[in-house]
Structure 1
Amino acid sequence: MASLMDAQKPHCQPRTVHEYHGHIIGYAAGELIRRVDLHHRTYNQFVRDKLDREFYVVILNDEVEARVSPVDTSNVFSMDSQTQKKSLSCSAASPLESSLMIFNGTRLHCVAIPSVNEITNARSLARIYYLLIGDINEYGKKQKRLLSEQTLIEATKNVTPTDEPDRNWYNMSTNFGKGRFQIYSDCFNIFGDGVFSHSDIILDLYL
């Protein structure tokens, strides 16, 4: 997959727009991890070792897969934009109204697509979010926060040139920080300045 990405021509004219590569970012990040990690771990293994054992980007275990709750899209997606529908349905390969919606497919759960394929439980998610802003003391074991305050400030800075707009996977204008977090903007107008996340996270949960 990495070699196919390497051989692909840019979708847009370079230095004209910054687009969000939601479906392939896992492969790119995975290659970086394998090349710099002393243990040459996969993206999924690195994330589970560093963040939480109950946080999966890839599921290859039938027992874990059996615990994953399906994503119900019946009341979630009310979109007029054809670009949005095309993105979320993988060019209509998996219609949003279908019971076979792609996010519920076991084949997708076997692929490293971190932007749309994180699978975890509420405890793990809360733990990871807290580690972004502070240390934790869990079962008598202390763990330092994942990002220092200064690193977090740098990661959430927007350094995109004014003539090279950021766009999300719906092809809508937005603002990304250095760490590729989506930061406060007209497209992501939640809470106020200083927030970072994603405007429409779809997270599979398991019981």
Structure 2
Amino acid sequence: MRTSTCDTWATTRAPSQRSTECAVHAPTARRDRRHDRHLDADQADRPPQSVLERVLRAHHEPAPQRAPDVRAGAGRADHRAGLGLPVHRRPYQGAAVAVADGGPRLVAATLAAQRPQWTPGTAHGYHSRTWGWLVGEVIRRVSGRTPGRFFAEEIAAPVGLDFFIGLPVEQRNRISRMVYQRPAVDLTAVPAEAVPEELREQVAAWRDPQSFSNRAYAVTDPAEIDFDSPDVQAAELPASNGVGTARALARMYAALIGKVDGVRLLTPETLESATKEQAKGKDQVMLIPSRFSSGYMLPTETNPMIGLNSFGHTGRGGSLGFADPEHGIAFGYAMNNIIGGLNDLRATSLVEAVRKSLA
């Protein structure tokens, strides 16, 4: 077993302090008991979760089987669906969409009824906010539970994860506040001719409030979500407000490629299906080359992870989680210091150090 932790700080921080945590380990580790209240006595070491497998199979089904009210042309459960930009923002009222009764289902219904931004399957673009509501509706229909409860009962509790989608009240005093660091140079404020040529298309999109790049993140009204708000932390925004540690990220990914305390989350066959490439090429939202499976990011030149078989996902501010079945290793990096711009090399340098240690 490989296990190491770097730059680890206590999870409770004063508002002005910065917190960084990185964890790397192979499948197997000590269980975190915070979710054990969700487990029956015989569940701790049970085989792959049948409900979790059913949700993933449903996620891969054509839309009419998965959710009969989805437009026939949008029958894809990946980033080719063209449903990353809700047509109507006003009803969502910021984080209230997750707090108010029926909020998430209202968004899912709106997305199901609208015309896709492109013909599904002909292009792809990162569904940065809407992904959680789209997949969350599949979870509700298959399991009868909200995404946060499903995650707690079927993933976090069996594996012992210090991670939540919908933060319990008793965990609030452990949370670090977000610290925002603006880039040294705001490229949106400099003359277009002064922007490096390879970045001009992206910068032009950032300047345009109607671009896919802006609208994909501004899907609520108001567009900004206060992730330091207790109400937002307690809400279930599955694409945006997961709260946890880097070690929990690494444990979760480890449980996808092998057993952690006797628990493996997915069968090898389901994992192979879940990590199969579905989209590749220029991303219509990020405007850079990207690769996706049904939900996971796959290695690219700018995010190589550990190798060609790695799968995972980046997060706001540079956080990162992934697994590599070939090397039998999982990685998690989390921080509360949000660095704007394109020069944040923290996760990149940590991954490079892991890569060198495997050589």
TM-score by length of 2: 0.44
Which is higher, the Rg of structure 1 or of structure 2? 2
What is the rounded CA distance, in whole Å, between the counterparts of 1:76 and 1:18 in structure 2?
28
Could you say if the C-alpha distance between residues 66 and 150 of structure 1 is closer, same or farther in structure 2, counting changes exceeding 3 Å?
Answer: same
Relative to structure 1, the CA distance from residue 13 to residue 79 in structure 2 (aligned partners, 3 Å threshold; closer, same or farther) is: farther
**TM-aligned CA deviation for residue 93 of structure 1:** 4.3
1:197 partner letter: G
Please say if residues 174 and 185 of structure 1, whose CA atoms lie closer than 8 Å, have aligned partners that are also in contact: yes
Which of 263, 271, 296 aligns to 1:152? It is: 271
- The one-letter code of the counterpart of 1:181 is Y
Contact kept? 2:163, 2:243, Cα under 8 Å: yes
Question: Aligned partners of 2:236, 2:184: CA distance in 1, in Å?
Answer: 24
Q: Look up the SS of the partner of 2:272 in the other structure.
A: helix
Structure 1 gaps, min length 5: 95-100
Q: Report whether the alignment pairs 1:42 with 2:146.
A: yes
* Aligned residue type for 1:46: F
- Report what 1:4 is aligned to: 110
Q: 1:103 aligns with which of 227, 252, 260?
A: 227
CA distance in 2, matches of 1:9, 1:33: 23
- Does the 8 A contact of 1:57 with 1:113 survive in 2? yes
User: Aligned equivalents of 1:27 and 1:184: distance in 2?
Assistant: 25
Deviation at 1:153, TM superposition (A): 2.9
Match of 1:128 in 2: 252
Give me the whole-angstrom Cα distance separating, in 1, the residues matched to 2:248 and 2:184. Answer: 26
Task: Indicate if the aligned counterparts of 1:22 and 1:113 stay in contact, CA closer than 8 A.
Answer: no
Determine the structure 2 residue equivalent to 1:51.
155
Aligned residues: 188
* Alpha-carbon contact 2:125-2:285 (below 8 Å) kept: yes
1:205: how far off?
A: 7.1
SS in 1 for 2:305: coil
Gap regions ≥5 residues in structure 2: 1-105, 188-201, 207-212, 320-333, 337-359
> How many percent of aligned residue pairs carry the same amino acid?
26
Asked if structure 1 preserves the Cα contact closer than 8 Å seen for 2:123 and 2:284, the reply is no
When normalised by structure 1's length, the TM-score is 0.72
Output aligned runs, 1:22-37, within 5 Å: 22-37=128-143
Greater helix fraction, Structure 1 or Structure 2? 2
Structure 2 partner of 1:62 = 169
Give 1:146 deviation, angstroms.
Answer: 1.3
